[in-house]
Chain A
Amino acid sequence: MTAVDTPTSSPAEGLPGGFEALFENAPCGYLTTTDGGVVTRVNETFLTWSGHRREDLVGSAFGRLLPVGDRILWSTHSAPQLGTTGGVSEVVVEVVAADRSRLPALVTATRVPARGGAEAEVRIVVFSAPERRAHEQELIAALHRVEEADDRRAAAEADARRRALEDPLTGLPNRAGLTGHLASALAGPGSPVAVLVVDLDHFTVVNESLGTPAGDELLVTVAQRLRTSVRESATVARLSADEFVVVDRCDADGARELAERLLEPLTAPVVLDGLEVVVSASIGAVVAAPGPGSAERALHDAGVAMHRAKARGRGRVEVHDPHRTDATVDRLRLLGELRRGIADGELRVHYQPRVAVHDGSVAGVEALVRWQHPVRGLLAPVEFIDLAEQSGLVRELGARVLDTAVEQAARWARDPGTPAIEVAVNLSTRQLTDPGLVGSVTATLNRHGLDPHLLVLEVTETALVNDPEAAAATLAALKDLGVGIAVDDFGTGYASLTYLQRFPVDELKIDRSFVTGLGVNDGDTAIVRTCVQLAHGVGVRAVAEGVETRAQLDALAAMGCDYVQGYFFSRPLTVQALQEWVRSR
């Protein structure tokens, strides 16, 4: 490199042909282009390698040398990168040769910004790279295999996810799937979302009489009918056995219209096992209110409306009205409160004295339950006893009242200052049919040490006629304990004289509705007289409830009624008030 040492000569002069020759015959292809990619210079190496003629390349776009895919890549990625970073290196492309063959190549380029009078220039080096190309092909093949495996795994995962959200029998979304649909429908803004709960009427009859396969076939048919009866955009889901849900965008009127439209295809006959079966459905609809928890609330409200549709005769539609307090919701709420109230000791037992007609002495008390509601105050049984009876909660409630009353009676019995008095406790129908009743009464008496003769259990006529055999057996067992038995509300039910003779009854309590009519209504007077005679006829005591006036008392006395109770003497009282009342007489 002696030329380098010669200050008067340029370095190129020291080489054969100078830098120009180095450019032309370099080991790889060289090109220069304008900023816009128009080729300005190209070397011999490139021309020889590609077969192109210089006059064809200079003045045309560099990108045109690349196949279309690489040209797009170069334009969308490499060219902008040259502009921002000033260079790209080893971009894998193919160069289209003059004979249209493809020459694998690596392209490295740098951009020289405009300086002085010189325009910006892009300098490109093209390496022939057949091995690199083969290597890339291998990489692509490997990548494809990985992606195919990924695809298969993703497809399997998607399938599993879908199955988890789908009811296998009908292919409809299940509860989880529905929850997702509903949540996303409610999440965004848009027209209101209606939720319909569709429940088949008497589906269990189909299952029980024709078998589960027939029941499944019916469900599949119903699913198809629902799916084809709603809009494409609506969601149909199966929530549980025979409960379906339809979600669509419409207002309350639209929801009712849709629900009524759905009833018809559902009632078309279905042939199951060669039998033509006609089913009907009850539908509850609601327009979901926006806000958190709206999906759950909408499903709940639609379900409540559906139960109302069933209660009102089935095969019909009920739309939830958010402006009206729903009796069913009230009922459910109250039930929850009552369950908690019993556990928290909110039940109170009050006692209403019963008086012997012949001498005016206090012969006993009737224990009557009250509920000290934390918000609504002291509630009479009429407010909650039916609810307790329907829900089965009455067993627990009855047991509590019995326990409290027996404990109190035992306390009075032990108190030398007060004469022993009977305590009457009401038994509900459910308690009477509870096989554990006798055992629990025995245990209660033993626990508090009360003489069984001081306990009277009152049962209603209705309870007796429900299952007379069982009732007779239970009452006989109670009677054996020494407990007295009274028939409550006598005259309002269907108890005949025959029944009375079969049951070991000690007392008839004439219903207050007849006592109220005493002396006013001839019919009532006659009924009360008959009841008293009937009681005495079978050898039991007659007791009148609801005595409010002196005239009523006088009439009852004239009929020979044994005991009376009512506001004429006293309303039901707390223990303390009762004791004061007794002392003050």
Chain B
Amino acid sequence: MSTPPAAAVSGSAAARHHVTVHGRPDGPVVLLVHGFGSDQQVWRPLLPAFTGEHRVVLVDQAGAGRFDAGTYDRERYSTLDGYADDLVDVCEELDLRDVVVVAHSVSSMIAARAALRAPERFRQLVMLAPSARYTDDPATGYDGGFSTEDVEELLASLDHNYLAWTAAVGPMIMGNPDRPELGEEFAGSFRRLHPGTARDFARATFLADSRELLTRVQVPTLVLQCRDDALAPESATREVAARLPRATLVDLDASGHCPHVSAPAETASVVLAHLPGRP
């Protein structure tokens, strides 16, 4: 896979999040926000579909990838609001306007929070495999896919997962068996991630309930549902679309939780078909 030319961006928020900018400098802005346990590299398969017409901005969220670890603040990142503030900071610093945010998994809820904080910056949200609440809510009959016991166990067992991730994630992300050194390089960068930050992100993710908050998001939102998604079951993703005042729900053929990795072509074409025209 060829690496599109990236313009290095200086400045405090951009530097903290290792912001890279790709594609047409004068194109409409597409901000890609990775999910839990990965970083901006995860967008590589999807990137070429956007760089021709769009100005694509990639970030490493707090604790991920080449995020500036020296600025990690446990309190700030104990809830999803801290991550949302980061997105707004980046948009303000780079003065991004009419931004289309494509966010994966829990970052969909981070993007929703950012859209509530600075609605004027955002033109559209695209949520890949979102869930507003991962834990079941028996009181309302909500099926989030995880029982309370599941979540408790998850939070207790994160160390184990972390080690497994570091071994598994490199080759997967690169998806390039011909150039395993890229995978090695990436696994190395992943290992630099402190498991403490993964624990914080997991806690913020699995303890959040964004259902009420979605009802206040006025930015038009495209919700993409995958088949057989063990993390964002159909019940959860449909709940997201139902709560959002201006949602369009599209069912993908792709299965699993990471359509941008497993089916980048389909994911890109659906997103592009639903993007607004030039502002």
Contact = CB atoms under 8 A, between A and B. Distances in A.
Interface string A75-93: 1111111011100100111
Contacts of B257: 75-76, 79-80
A236 to B, nearest CB: 20
A75 to B, nearest CB: 4
Contacts of B150: 68
Contact of B159 (A34, A63, A140): A140
Interface in A50-79: 61, 63-64, 67-79
Interface in B213-231: 227-231
A35 B231 contact: no
Contact of A73 (B45, B168, B262): B168
Contacts of B38: 76
A379 interface: no
B255 A36 contact: yes
B230 A69 contact: no
A84 B267 CA distance: 14
A136 interface: yes
Contacts of B169: 77
Interface residues on B, range: 35 or more
Nearest to B255: A36
Contacts of A67: 153, 157
A72 B228 contact: no
Interface stretch (A181-189, A331-339, A536-544): A181-189
A456 to B, nearest CB: 67
Interface string B4-20: 00000001110000000
Contacts of A136: 160, 163
A70 B165 CA distance: 10
Nearest to A92: B164
A144 interface: yes
A368 B8 CA distance: 63
Given A80-B256, A139-B163, A188-B93, A72 B231 contact: yes
A147 interface: yes
Interface in B168-184: 168-169, 171-172, 175, 177
A162 to B, nearest CB: 11
B160 A69 contact: yes
B263 interface: yes
A84 B35 CA distance: 18
B37 A77 contact: yes
Interface in B227-272: 227-231, 255-258, 261-263
Given A69-B153, A77-B169, A84 B158 contact: no
A83 B161 contact: no
Contacts of B227: 36
A139 B177 CA distance: 27
Nearest to B45: A84
Interface in B66-116: 70, 93, 95, 105
A158 interface: yes
A77 B172 contact: yes
A470 to B, nearest CB: 60
Contacts of B258: 75-76, 79-80
A37 B172 CA distance: 17
Interface of B: 11-13, 35-38, 45, 70, 93, 95, 105, 146, 150-151, 153-154, 157-161, 163-165, 167-169, 171-172, 175, 177, 194-196, 227-231, 255-258, 261-263
Given A38-B228, A81-B171, 18 more contacts: A36-B255, A37-B228, A37-B256, A61-B228, A68-B154, A69-B160, A69-B161, A75-B256, A76-B258, A80-B172, A80-B256, A80-B257, A80-B261, A84-B261, A85-B175, A140-B160, A189-B93, A189-B95
